[in-house]
Amino acid sequence: MNSRAFSTLQRSSITKLIFQAKPIRIHRGYTASLLNSIRKQQFPPNIKYVHNSPKPVPALSLPEQILKYNKEWAKNKTKADSSYFENMTAVQTPEILWIGCSDSRVCSDVLTGSNFGRVFTLRNVGNSLSTTDTNSLAVIQFAVETLKIKHIVIVGHTFCGAMEAAFKYNSLNGPISDWIKPIADLYNKNKPTIDALPTHKQQNQALSELNVKRNVDIINSLDIIKKTKKSGKELNIHGWIYDIENGSLQDLKVS
Ligand SMILES: [Zn+2]
Protein backbone atom coordinates (compact mmCIF):
# COMPACT_ATOMS: atom_id res chain seq x y z
CA MET A 1 0.00 0.00 0.00
CA ASN A 2 1.42 3.35 -0.84
CA SER A 3 1.89 6.13 1.62
CA ARG A 4 -1.09 8.09 0.39
CA ALA A 5 -3.45 5.21 0.98
CA PHE A 6 -1.91 4.50 4.35
CA SER A 7 -2.15 8.15 5.27
CA THR A 8 -5.80 8.10 4.28
CA LEU A 9 -6.30 5.11 6.52
CA GLN A 10 -4.57 6.85 9.36
CA ARG A 11 -6.81 9.84 8.91
CA SER A 12 -9.78 7.59 9.08
CA SER A 13 -11.11 6.36 12.35
CA ILE A 14 -9.68 2.94 11.62
CA THR A 15 -6.21 3.13 13.04
CA LYS A 16 -5.86 -0.24 14.66
CA LEU A 17 -5.48 -2.26 11.47
CA ILE A 18 -2.11 -3.24 10.08
CA PHE A 19 -2.06 -4.07 6.40
CA GLN A 20 0.37 -6.54 5.05
CA ALA A 21 0.11 -6.34 1.31
CA LYS A 22 2.16 -5.91 -1.76
CA PRO A 23 2.10 -2.37 -3.09
CA ILE A 24 -1.09 -1.89 -4.97
CA ARG A 25 -2.05 0.73 -7.43
CA ILE A 26 -4.31 3.28 -5.88
CA HIS A 27 -6.63 5.26 -8.00
CA ARG A 28 -9.29 7.81 -7.28
CA GLY A 29 -12.17 6.07 -5.59
CA TYR A 30 -10.19 3.00 -4.65
CA THR A 31 -9.26 4.36 -1.27
CA ALA A 32 -12.87 4.99 -0.41
CA SER A 33 -13.71 1.57 -1.68
CA LEU A 34 -10.91 0.03 0.37
CA LEU A 35 -12.03 1.85 3.48
CA ASN A 36 -15.53 0.68 2.85
CA SER A 37 -14.24 -2.89 2.57
CA ILE A 38 -12.39 -2.54 5.83
CA ARG A 39 -15.49 -1.29 7.55
CA LYS A 40 -17.37 -4.31 6.26
CA GLN A 41 -14.32 -6.51 6.93
CA GLN A 42 -14.33 -7.69 3.34
CA PHE A 43 -10.99 -7.42 1.55
CA PRO A 44 -9.68 -7.76 -1.97
CA PRO A 45 -7.74 -11.03 -2.36
CA ASN A 46 -4.38 -9.25 -2.64
CA ILE A 47 -4.78 -7.69 0.78
CA LYS A 48 -4.26 -9.59 3.96
CA TYR A 49 -4.86 -7.90 7.23
CA VAL A 50 -3.96 -8.56 10.75
CA HIS A 51 -6.24 -7.12 13.31
CA ASN A 52 -3.85 -5.86 15.87
CA SER A 53 -5.66 -5.82 19.17
CA PRO A 54 -5.45 -2.34 20.57
CA LYS A 55 -2.91 -2.13 23.31
CA PRO A 56 -4.93 -1.68 26.46
CA VAL A 57 -4.32 1.71 28.00
CA PRO A 58 -3.23 0.84 31.52
CA ALA A 59 -5.69 2.18 34.06
CA LEU A 60 -4.20 4.72 36.40
CA SER A 61 -3.61 3.48 39.90
CA LEU A 62 -5.27 5.51 42.65
CA PRO A 63 -2.00 7.30 43.58
CA GLU A 64 -1.51 8.15 39.90
CA GLN A 65 -5.09 9.43 39.66
CA ILE A 66 -4.54 11.58 42.73
CA LEU A 67 -1.29 13.05 41.37
CA LYS A 68 -2.99 13.75 38.06
CA TYR A 69 -5.99 15.35 39.73
CA ASN A 70 -3.71 17.45 41.92
CA LYS A 71 -1.89 18.87 38.89
CA GLU A 72 -5.20 19.94 37.35
CA TRP A 73 -6.49 21.27 40.63
CA ALA A 74 -3.39 23.40 41.28
CA LYS A 75 -3.50 24.68 37.70
CA ASN A 76 -7.16 25.65 37.98
CA LYS A 77 -6.66 27.35 41.34
CA THR A 78 -3.81 29.41 39.94
CA LYS A 79 -5.82 30.20 36.84
CA ALA A 80 -8.68 31.53 38.96
CA ASP A 81 -6.38 33.45 41.30
CA SER A 82 -2.71 33.81 40.42
CA SER A 83 -1.73 34.59 44.03
CA TYR A 84 -3.82 31.78 45.58
CA PHE A 85 -0.85 29.68 46.71
CA GLU A 86 1.36 32.66 47.41
CA ASN A 87 -1.23 33.84 49.93
CA MET A 88 -0.99 30.44 51.65
CA THR A 89 2.59 31.06 52.61
CA ALA A 90 1.52 33.58 55.23
CA VAL A 91 1.09 32.26 58.79
CA GLN A 92 -1.83 29.95 59.48
CA THR A 93 -4.44 31.26 61.91
CA PRO A 94 -6.92 28.44 62.56
CA GLU A 95 -9.20 28.87 65.55
CA ILE A 96 -10.22 25.23 65.91
CA LEU A 97 -8.30 22.05 66.68
CA TRP A 98 -10.30 19.10 65.35
CA ILE A 99 -9.46 15.77 66.94
CA GLY A 100 -11.23 13.10 64.92
CA CYS A 101 -11.05 9.54 63.68
CA SER A 102 -8.82 8.54 60.76
CA ASP A 103 -11.89 7.03 59.10
CA SER A 104 -11.91 7.99 55.40
CA ARG A 105 -15.62 8.82 55.62
CA VAL A 106 -15.09 11.54 58.22
CA CYS A 107 -12.94 14.14 56.47
CA SER A 108 -13.13 17.23 58.65
CA ASP A 109 -12.49 19.79 55.92
CA VAL A 110 -15.07 18.25 53.61
CA LEU A 111 -17.93 17.88 56.07
CA THR A 112 -17.38 21.34 57.56
CA GLY A 113 -16.90 23.04 54.20
CA SER A 114 -13.59 24.44 55.39
CA ASN A 115 -10.97 26.02 53.19
CA PHE A 116 -7.26 25.91 53.94
CA GLY A 117 -6.20 27.58 57.13
CA ARG A 118 -9.44 27.15 59.05
CA VAL A 119 -9.12 23.84 60.91
CA PHE A 120 -6.00 22.45 62.59
CA THR A 121 -6.34 18.69 62.62
CA LEU A 122 -5.32 15.59 64.53
CA ARG A 123 -6.79 12.31 63.38
CA ASN A 124 -6.11 8.81 64.61
CA VAL A 125 -7.91 5.51 65.05
CA GLY A 126 -10.94 6.14 67.27
CA ASN A 127 -10.20 9.86 67.92
CA SER A 128 -8.39 8.74 71.01
CA LEU A 129 -6.03 10.60 73.32
CA SER A 130 -3.60 9.42 75.91
CA THR A 131 -1.49 11.28 78.41
CA THR A 132 1.46 9.15 77.27
CA ASP A 133 0.97 9.73 73.53
CA THR A 134 3.60 12.30 72.55
CA ASN A 135 2.03 12.82 69.13
CA SER A 136 -1.35 13.93 70.50
CA LEU A 137 0.19 15.99 73.29
CA ALA A 138 2.54 17.80 70.91
CA VAL A 139 -0.34 18.67 68.56
CA ILE A 140 -2.41 20.02 71.45
CA GLN A 141 0.53 22.00 72.85
CA PHE A 142 1.34 23.53 69.45
CA ALA A 143 -2.31 24.35 68.81
CA VAL A 144 -2.79 26.04 72.18
CA GLU A 145 0.57 27.73 72.74
CA THR A 146 1.66 28.69 69.25
CA LEU A 147 -1.50 28.88 67.15
CA LYS A 148 -3.56 30.09 70.11
CA ILE A 149 -6.63 28.21 68.94
CA LYS A 150 -9.85 28.99 70.80
CA HIS A 151 -11.71 25.69 70.42
CA ILE A 152 -10.75 22.02 70.70
CA VAL A 153 -13.35 19.66 69.28
CA ILE A 154 -13.29 15.91 69.90
CA VAL A 155 -15.35 14.30 67.16
CA GLY A 156 -16.51 10.70 67.32
CA HIS A 157 -18.70 9.11 64.69
CA THR A 158 -21.22 6.37 64.07
CA PHE A 159 -20.23 3.04 62.48
CA CYS A 160 -16.72 3.54 63.90
CA GLY A 161 -14.30 0.68 63.24
CA ALA A 162 -12.40 1.48 66.42
CA MET A 163 -15.56 0.80 68.45
CA GLU A 164 -16.01 -2.47 66.57
CA ALA A 165 -12.44 -3.36 67.47
CA ALA A 166 -13.20 -2.63 71.11
CA PHE A 167 -16.22 -4.97 70.98
CA LYS A 168 -13.94 -7.82 69.91
CA TYR A 169 -10.87 -6.72 71.78
CA ASN A 170 -9.68 -10.25 72.61
CA SER A 171 -9.11 -11.00 68.93
CA LEU A 172 -6.72 -8.05 68.47
CA ASN A 173 -2.96 -8.15 68.56
CA GLY A 174 -0.02 -5.84 67.87
CA PRO A 175 -0.05 -2.05 68.26
CA ILE A 176 -3.76 -1.73 67.48
CA SER A 177 -4.45 -3.87 70.55
CA ASP A 178 -2.57 -1.41 72.77
CA TRP A 179 -4.23 1.57 71.11
CA ILE A 180 -7.78 0.22 71.44
CA LYS A 181 -7.32 -0.97 75.05
CA PRO A 182 -8.71 2.22 76.71
CA ILE A 183 -11.80 2.04 74.48
CA ALA A 184 -12.21 -1.66 75.22
CA ASP A 185 -11.96 -0.89 78.94
CA LEU A 186 -14.62 1.77 78.47
CA TYR A 187 -16.87 -0.77 76.76
CA ASN A 188 -16.39 -3.36 79.52
CA LYS A 189 -17.22 -0.74 82.13
CA ASN A 190 -20.48 0.11 80.35
CA LYS A 191 -21.21 -3.29 78.79
CA PRO A 192 -24.65 -3.94 80.34
CA THR A 193 -25.99 -0.55 79.19
CA ILE A 194 -24.46 -0.74 75.72
CA ASP A 195 -25.41 -4.38 75.07
CA ALA A 196 -29.00 -3.64 76.10
CA LEU A 197 -29.44 -1.24 73.18
CA PRO A 198 -31.64 -2.75 70.47
CA THR A 199 -29.47 -2.23 67.37
CA HIS A 200 -25.80 -2.60 66.66
CA LYS A 201 -25.68 0.92 65.26
CA GLN A 202 -26.93 2.25 68.59
CA GLN A 203 -24.39 0.15 70.48
CA ASN A 204 -21.56 1.45 68.31
CA GLN A 205 -22.79 5.03 68.65
CA ALA A 206 -23.21 4.75 72.42
CA LEU A 207 -19.61 3.60 72.85
CA SER A 208 -18.44 6.28 70.43
CA GLU A 209 -20.20 8.96 72.48
CA LEU A 210 -18.75 7.64 75.73
CA ASN A 211 -15.34 7.69 74.07
CA VAL A 212 -15.80 11.34 73.12
CA LYS A 213 -16.63 12.14 76.73
CA ARG A 214 -13.58 10.15 77.90
CA ASN A 215 -11.34 12.20 75.63
CA VAL A 216 -12.91 15.51 76.63
CA ASP A 217 -12.06 14.58 80.23
CA ILE A 218 -8.47 13.76 79.23
CA ILE A 219 -8.09 17.12 77.50
CA ASN A 220 -9.47 18.97 80.50
CA SER A 221 -6.96 17.15 82.73
CA LEU A 222 -3.91 18.29 80.77
CA ASP A 223 -1.64 20.87 82.40
CA ILE A 224 -1.38 22.91 79.20
CA ILE A 225 -5.20 23.24 79.08
CA LYS A 226 -5.52 24.06 82.77
CA LYS A 227 -2.76 26.66 82.52
CA THR A 228 -4.29 28.32 79.46
CA LYS A 229 -7.75 28.49 81.00
CA LYS A 230 -6.34 29.85 84.26
CA SER A 231 -4.56 32.62 82.35
CA GLY A 232 -7.93 33.90 81.18
CA LYS A 233 -7.34 33.13 77.49
CA GLU A 234 -10.35 31.89 75.58
CA LEU A 235 -10.24 28.09 75.18
CA ASN A 236 -13.36 25.95 74.82
CA ILE A 237 -13.52 22.17 74.71
CA HIS A 238 -16.33 20.49 72.76
CA GLY A 239 -17.51 16.91 72.21
CA TRP A 240 -19.34 16.13 68.98
CA ILE A 241 -20.59 13.04 67.17
CA TYR A 242 -20.83 12.76 63.40
CA ASP A 243 -23.51 10.51 61.92
CA ILE A 244 -22.16 8.87 58.77
CA GLU A 245 -25.70 7.84 57.86
CA ASN A 246 -27.00 11.39 57.38
CA GLY A 247 -23.93 13.63 57.44
CA SER A 248 -24.94 15.55 60.56
CA LEU A 249 -22.77 16.75 63.42
CA GLN A 250 -24.28 16.82 66.87
CA ASP A 251 -22.98 18.64 69.93
CA LEU A 252 -22.95 16.17 72.82
CA LYS A 253 -22.70 19.02 75.35
CA VAL A 254 -19.94 17.28 77.23
CA SER A 255 -17.48 20.17 77.38
ZN1 LIG B 1 -13.76 5.75 63.50
Using DSSP's 3-state secondary structure scheme, residue 248 falls into strand
Question: pTM score, two decimals?
Answer: 0.76
Q: Encode pLDDT of 124-144 as tens digits.
A: 999 999 999 999 999 999 999
Residue 68 near residue 83, CB atoms below 8 Å: no
pLDDT reported for residue 14 = 41
Cα(211)–Cα(179) distance, integer angstroms: 13
The alpha carbon of 116 and the centre of ligand 1 are apart by a number of angstroms equal to 23
Cα(183)–Cα(166) distance, integer angstroms: 6
Q: For residue 34, is pLDDT > 90?
A: no
The alpha carbon of 252 and the centre of ligand 1 are apart by a number of angstroms equal to 17
Residue 157 near residue 205, CB atoms below 8 Å: no
The segment(s) of the chain belonging to CATH 3.40.1050.10 are 92-251
Arithmetic mean of pLDDT, 81-93: 87
Q: For residue 30, is pLDDT > 60?
A: no
The alpha carbon of 45 and the centre of ligand 1 are apart by a number of angstroms equal to 68
The amino acid at 158: T
> Near ion ligand 1, which residues have CB within 5 Å?
101, 103, 160, 162
Assess whether 103 carries a catalytic annotation. yes
Arithmetic mean of pLDDT, 65-86: 93
Residue in 11, 39, 51, 157 annotated catalytic: 157
Question: What is the percent of the chain where pLDDT is above 70?
Answer: 79
Q: For residue 44, is pLDDT > 80?
A: no
Residue in 11, 25, 39, 105 annotated catalytic: 105
Q: For residue 20, is pLDDT > 60?
A: no
Q: Which residue has the higher pLDDT, 81 or 25?
A: 81
pLDDT reported for residue 233 = 92
Query: Which is nearest to 187 in space by CA: 159, 166, 216?
Result: 166
Give the chain's length. 255
Residue in 39, 103, 195, 217 annotated catalytic: 103
Assess whether 217 carries a catalytic annotation. no
Rg of the chain on CA atoms, in Å: 31
Give the least confident one: 89-98, 130-139, 170-179, 204-213: 89-98
pLDDT reported for residue 146 = 95
Binding site for Zn(2+), residues?
A: 101, 103, 157, 160
Look up residue 170 and give its DSSP letter: G
Q: Encode pLDDT of 197-227 as tens digits.
A: 999 999 999 999 999 999 999 999 999 999 9
Using DSSP's 3-state secondary structure scheme, residue 240 falls into strand
Q: Which CATH superfamily is domain 92-251 in?
A: Carbonic anhydrase (3.40.1050.10)
Assess whether 105 carries a catalytic annotation. yes
Cα(27)–Cα(38) distance, integer angstroms: 17
Cα(238)–Cα(155) distance, integer angstroms: 8
